[in-house]
Structure 1
Amino acid sequence: MCTLMNCLGYGPHIRQARRDAHRERDRLMNAQEPGTKTVITSGSKAEGLTRMYESDMDMMYVVEGIMCLENGVDSDKLPRETTVFTLNTGVCYHGHSRLNLLGRLGDIIPSIIRDALCEDENWRVFLSSALLVDAQSDIAPTENEIRHERAGPSMPSSSGPIHTDNVFSLRCHCPVILSRWAERTRHWPPPDIVRKVVTMGSFVTPVGFKGSEYQHLEWRICFNTGENELMSSLNNTQVYIYVLLKMVVKDVLKPVKKEITSYTVKNIVLWLAENNPQAQFNESNLFYWIREGLEKLRTAILKIELPYYMIPERNLMAACGLDDGKKCTWENTITDMMNEGSNTLLRLPRIRKAIISHPEPLMWYNKKRIETELLHLNLWNRIIQCKNKNGVVNMSNPMLQALFSRRCDLVIEVHTRMNRKGSRLNDLIKIGDMMLM
């Protein structure tokens, strides 16, 4: 199974290559367009766990010149041009907050922030999450971009096969919350990773707690960059557990209204890693830990309760909208899977197809597919480097030409073999896109 996971593109080398490529893309984009916001790739792309077109790209746009502070944190050390908000967590559900203006505005306030300010009956100034998302939707789309309906804090969009979740966020300094996390007794992560996560701080994103009377004013505290670091420090077996459990949710349970998400699974794996000795997570124990993960998932569904890894008081299952009928169905399905042992993975289409085609066709195809993906990641970054100030790409760049040429050669190789096996698909662009899905 671990060999199959490597073949399917979840091995350590391809994961690291993906992480490096997306970090480099962020660096290039921020260097090319310095100003009011910083781009950070998060989620499965930043973790190196999904192909180019396999799932949505989670893009976070951090508004610069703004800082949100926990109560009691001194703001005097911040530059005078910084606009400061305080976290008012006492009136919100755990992990959420209202943002009160601390009495000073920076020299330059981005319009997306200024337009989201509002007052209550006592003339206190708040930053409205709902108004900020509305202001975000007013930003003109780029060429070929299609906007979709809001989803939580995100304004999703698509351009061809690329689907993106776009979230505006603000930097947040909450040392008390992070110190409570750091001081927990744990087997994992090691002390150096704990210290690194603490230094990365946190963010607030524009979404309130479902059902709250003041949802339009509330923001959710999150730790995107810290969680990226935590996921990167998992060992191979823990990564495979995460990927396989995500497949269970997507391909077996198939939630329609996001009652359970990949983020639910991520938190289950983080808790498993923290509460158990690292030495126990090895290839020979993979199926044991998958069963443990399924049991944690079943418990979360039955009890409608799963503590958020960074702020345990926040229940990730709260207000998830899971009805009794679906709860019962999923409980029975997961119980059956736990009783099936290793055969349960045959329920997963990608694993089943890999087993059928193993070893030679699978090894050959995935070698071509992984090279294609790495070329495409390099192409993305090279295109950014070859753009002029007007956004026009210099297509005559030798490196760009070489990358396009090699990618074309790989797609033709795959197309030729497909035809020999009886396929009649001759659309090379479609074949190239399918290799990245």
Structure 2
Amino acid sequence: MTRLGYGEQIRRWRVEKYKVFDSSMNSQLSNVPLITAGSKAEGLTCFYESDRDFLFVLERILCVEAGINLHTISDGICVFRMDTSAYSGHCRLLLERQARTHSKVIHNALCDNGQGDILLSSSLFLDEMSAYPSTDSALVRHERAGPSLPTSIGRELHSDRVCALRCHCPSILKRWASRSRHWPSPVLVQKVVSLGAYVTAVGFKESEYKHMEWRIGFNTGESELVNNLSETQAKVYVMLKMIVKDVLRPSKKEITSYVMKNIVFWQAERNPQNMFYAQSFLHWLHDGLKALRTAIVTQQLSYYMIPERNLMAASGLTYRQQSHWIEVITDMMAEGPRVILRLPKIRMAIVASPEPMLWYSMKRMELEMLELEYMNRMTTCLVNGVVEMTDAILQEIGRRHVEVLMEIDQRMTEEGCAVNDLTDIEERMLK
């Protein structure tokens, strides 16, 4: 797995480089901070391996729990009160106080519920954000998916953009922080609490009022938790995701990688950390498969941050799928170590000759490092929306980038592989 790009060195490199990217971009964005989220923020996917998840946080808007004193909040901030009587982990937002300056997006998404309350509609909010004009002519927009506004540039660079509002919910975080646990450490628990929460525009699927509901999430805190998993725990998480994608292959996100993340979080919290050593990998993979099978059988898996929320609720899982997946997972558990041979990526790495595999692994790592450095250098060379391509460092990174691709091209040709072009090689290496 290390040679395939899931080792600690490249994982830590990715995390730091995406943090640098966020910092650089936010120094140029005045009113909508950008946060890299999901697998990219966790350092667990190659450059083109999955979509890039971005959280765009609307400034000067705050959602608060009942009992929060509004006088402690600046007058320049629009405040919504969270009505958490909706399905667990969700809320409705009641306008408590307008700011002196109004956001057009927020204003157009406000609704009167006929009882004297003004609510912020998640559905109207998404309509407003979808209609927001883009300044990037190369950006292609795709059909909305939950709270996400998917976009793409070119063939491979896909992004999921989620607009969020900051959320102050100390009682929820206090309940999470006060649990008895083996992991995370008290210091990490306090850091996660300090990172706070967000609400995103998506209601519970089966709710009659889903168009008015918002989901409470802890994106930055959860990224911090993943980044503090041990190498063994992180690799179990990656392999569980591979199993869902390549073996179970859900058609409509009946099971997602987010379910796998929560399974690994519960594993880490409930067990001493010295039990997660390299040789225990297959034990914990088997344990994760067992937890997944239980979740499918019972249609129940508690959300790690808010256990009252069931991640399997309204999953859309049919009886036929349920029966089939239970059978498949049971078979995988009986296979023992051979279960990893079900995964094409792992299988090809095992049967490959050691020397070429190591060479390609080193070139893939260098290629990705160059790609991330190039991405970040471009943001620092951005002047009035235009990249200064004459920058010497940018040109040197580009030169070495092409050089590495040509080395790979030459070796592939010598080994009798069909080579299309350098762009094709890059995409195949970094997926």
Aligned residue runs from structure 1 range 151-230, under 5 A: 151-160=145-154, 161-230=156-225
Counterpart of 2:19 in structure 1 is 23
- Find the aligned partners of 2:180 and 2:313 in 1 and give their Cα distance: 26
Q: 1:418, CA displacement in angstroms?
A: 0.6
Aligned to 1:32, the other structure's residue is in SS state coil
Q: 1:424, CA displacement in angstroms?
A: 2.9
Q: 1:232, CA displacement in angstroms?
A: 0.7
Instruction: Say yes or no: does 1:42 pair with 2:15.
Output: no
- Find the aligned partners of 1:365 and 1:109 in 2 and give their Cα distance: 54
Counterpart of 1:58 in structure 2 is 53
Per-residue Cα deviation, 1:357-386 (whole angstroms, up to 9, x for no partner): 142111100100111111111111111111
Q: 129-138 or 8-17: which moved more?
A: 8-17
Instruction: Give the alignment partner of residue 423 of structure 2, picking from 417, 421, 429.
Output: 429
- Find the aligned partners of 2:353 and 2:280 in 1 and give their Cα distance: 22
Q: Is the 8 A contact 1:65 1:109 kept in 2?
A: no
Q: 1:310, CA displacement in angstroms?
A: 0.2
Instruction: Say yes or no: does 1:363 pair with 2:358.
Output: yes
Query: What amino acid is aligned across from residue 425 of structure 1 in structure 2?
Result: V
Q: Is the 8 A contact 1:415 1:428 kept in 2?
A: yes
Per-residue Cα deviation, 1:324-355 (whole angstroms, up to 9, x for no partner): 00100000000000000000000001100110
Query: What amino acid is aligned across from residue 18 of structure 1 in structure 2?
Result: R
Instruction: Say yes or no: does 1:11 pair with 2:11.
Output: no
Query: What amino acid is aligned across from residue 287 of structure 1 in structure 2?
Result: L
Counterpart of 2:110 in structure 1 is 117
- Find the aligned partners of 2:102 and 2:186 in 1 and give their Cα distance: 38
- Find the aligned partners of 1:131 and 1:425 in 2 and give their Cα distance: 48
Aligned to 1:46, the other structure's residue is in SS state helix
Aligned to 1:157, the other structure's residue is in SS state strand
Instruction: Give the alignment partner of residue 382 of structure 1, picking from 377, 384, 396.
Output: 377
Instruction: Give the alignment partner of residue 392 of structure 1, picking from 386, 393, 400.
Output: 386
Counterpart of 2:88 in structure 1 is 94
Instruction: Give the alignment partner of residue 147 of structure 1, picking from 135, 141, 144.
Output: 141
Counterpart of 1:313 in structure 2 is 308
Q: Is the 8 A contact 1:113 1:127 kept in 2?
A: yes
| TM-score normalised to structure 1 length | 0.97
Q: 1:292, CA displacement in angstroms?
A: 0.3
| Deviation >6 Å, runs of 4+ | none
Per-residue Cα deviation, 1:178-200 (whole angstroms, up to 9, x for no partner): 00000001000010000100111
Q: 1:415, CA displacement in angstroms?
A: 0.4
| TM-score normalised to structure 2 length | 0.98
Q: 1:426, CA displacement in angstroms?
A: 3.4
- Find the aligned partners of 1:292 and 1:233 in 2 and give their Cα distance: 20
Instruction: Say yes or no: does 1:245 pair with 2:240.
Output: yes
Counterpart of 2:261 in structure 1 is 266
The percent of aligned pairs where both chains have the same amino acid is 49
Q: 140-149 or 237-246: which moved more?
A: 140-149
Q: Is the 8 A contact 1:211 1:319 kept in 2?
A: yes
Q: 309-318 or 151-160: which moved more?
A: 151-160
Q: 182-191 or 104-113: which moved more?
A: 104-113
- Find the aligned partners of 2:287 and 2:102 in 1 and give their Cα distance: 49
Aligned to 2:176, the other structure's residue is in SS state helix
List runs of 5+ in structure 1 lacking aligned partners. none
Counterpart of 1:107 in structure 2 is 100
Instruction: Say yes or no: does 1:135 pair with 2:128.
Output: yes
Q: Is the 8 A contact 1:88 1:97 kept in 2?
A: yes
Aligned to 1:63, the other structure's residue is in SS state strand
- Find the aligned partners of 2:56 and 2:374 in 1 and give their Cα distance: 23
- Find the aligned partners of 2:419 and 2:116 in 1 and give their Cα distance: 65
- Find the aligned partners of 2:30 and 2:351 in 1 and give their Cα distance: 50
Aligned to 1:76, the other structure's residue is in SS state helix
